[in-house]
């Protein structure tokens, strides 16, 4: 079974630029998450989708971050404009129906300079 | 108070020893508990899940849950250098098909030396 796919693996941008990350969850997984993990900390949930509906986006900085999950499969996370403190690993995860176990993709390492 | 607390370590044990990793959580209604392993620069990998009080064993790993004390632990028997990683404790208020947010601790860095 293929795992959660994410791209790109690495991204370096200047502050105030925009960036987008892509995620394809495990087939059949209705729940999709985006996490931000700053170096030395645990992952923090940014947004959680159930199919193409948002379940929890309470910790998403909505003035600069946006996410969508069209057709309930792939998802994109966008940052515009980026700040230095956005430098982190952005992790996408998905869960199968009837489970709260989350399986992570390889992540995107973002560096804002 | 943080939702999930772990000792950041580092924890250092010799090869073949038992490594004990601990985690406490603040929300008494939490239902699902997970341990993830994260190698440096990589994404978290789920290694154990536990939902009921007591012990759950899987190979060299044993997860222990005590809901009354709001405490969950992970024991790694016969530790190997390849176990060297950061171990993340995660807690969810929900279980099964009912969705909830997964809260992570900061992780405990484990080093197993030969």
Give the closest of A89, A100, A103 to B100, CB-based: A100
Residue position matching structure tokens 């199968």: A96
Residue A30 to residue A48: CA distance in whole angstroms: 10
Widest pairwise Cα distance in chain A? 41
CB-based contact B99 A55, cutoff 8 Å? yes
Beta strand spans in B29-107 (E): 32-38, 45-50, 54-58, 61-66, 71-76, 85-92, 102-104
- Which segments of chain A does DSSP mark as H helices, in order? none
CB-based contact B97 A31, cutoff 8 Å? no
pLDDT in tens, A71-108: 889 999 999 999 999 999 999 999 988 887 889 999 99
Q: Which of A113, A105, A61 is nearest to A83 (CA)?
A: A113
Q: Provide the pLDDT for residue B96.
A: 61
Residue A83 to residue A81: CA distance in whole angstroms: 7
Residue of B nearest to A49 (CA): B99
CB-based contact B106 A42, cutoff 8 Å? yes
Whole-Å CA distances, B63 to B45, B48, B52, B66: 15, 7, 10, 10
Residue A19 to residue A36: CA distance in whole angstroms: 14
Mean pLDDT (whole number) for A5-9? 97
Shortest distance between the Cα of A19 and any Cα of chain B, in A, equals: 20
Tens-digit pLDDT string for chain B (114 aa): 678 999 878 999 999 999 999 999 998 888 899 999 999 999 999 999 999 999 999 999 999 999 999 999 999 999 999 999 999 999 987 766 556 778 999 999 999 999
Q: Provide the pLDDT for residue B97.
A: 54
Interface probe for B, chosen from A9, A100, A101, A110 (most Cβ of B below 10 Å), is A100
Q: What percent of chain A has pLDDT over 90?
A: 81
CB-based contact A55 B107, cutoff 8 Å? no
Contacts of B92 in chain A (CB under 8 A): 100
Give the closest of A41, A101, A105 to B43, CB-based: A105
């Amino acid at each position: 079974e293929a795992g959660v796919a994410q791209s790109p693996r690495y991204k370096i941008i200047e502050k105030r630029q925009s960036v987008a990350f892509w995620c394809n969850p495990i087939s059949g997984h209705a729940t999709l998450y985006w996490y931000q993990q700053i170096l030395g900390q645990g992952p923090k949930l940014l947004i959680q989708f159930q199919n193409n509906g948002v379940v929890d986006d309470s910790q998403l900085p909505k003035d600069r971050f946006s996410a969508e999950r069209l057709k309930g499969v792939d998802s994109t996370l966008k940052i515009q404009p980026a700040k230095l403190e956005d430098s982190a690993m952005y992790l996408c995860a998905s869960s199968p129906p009837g489970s709260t176990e989350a399986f992570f993709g390889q992540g995107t390492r973002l560096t804002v300079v | 108070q943080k939702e999930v607390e772990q000792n950041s370590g580092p924890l250092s044990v010799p090869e073949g020893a038992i490594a004990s990793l601990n985690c406490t959580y603040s929300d008494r209604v939490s239902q699902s508990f997970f341990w993830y392993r994260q190698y440096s620069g990589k994404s978290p990998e789920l290694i154990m899940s536990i939902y009921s009080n007591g012990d759950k064993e899987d190979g060299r790993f044993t997860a222990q849950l005590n809901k009354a004390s709001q405490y969950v632990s992970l024991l790694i028997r016969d530790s190997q250098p390849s176990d060297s990683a950061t171990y993340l404790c995660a807690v969810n208020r929900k279980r099964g098909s009912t969705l909830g947010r997964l809260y992570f601790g900061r992780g405990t860095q484990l080093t197993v030396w030969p």
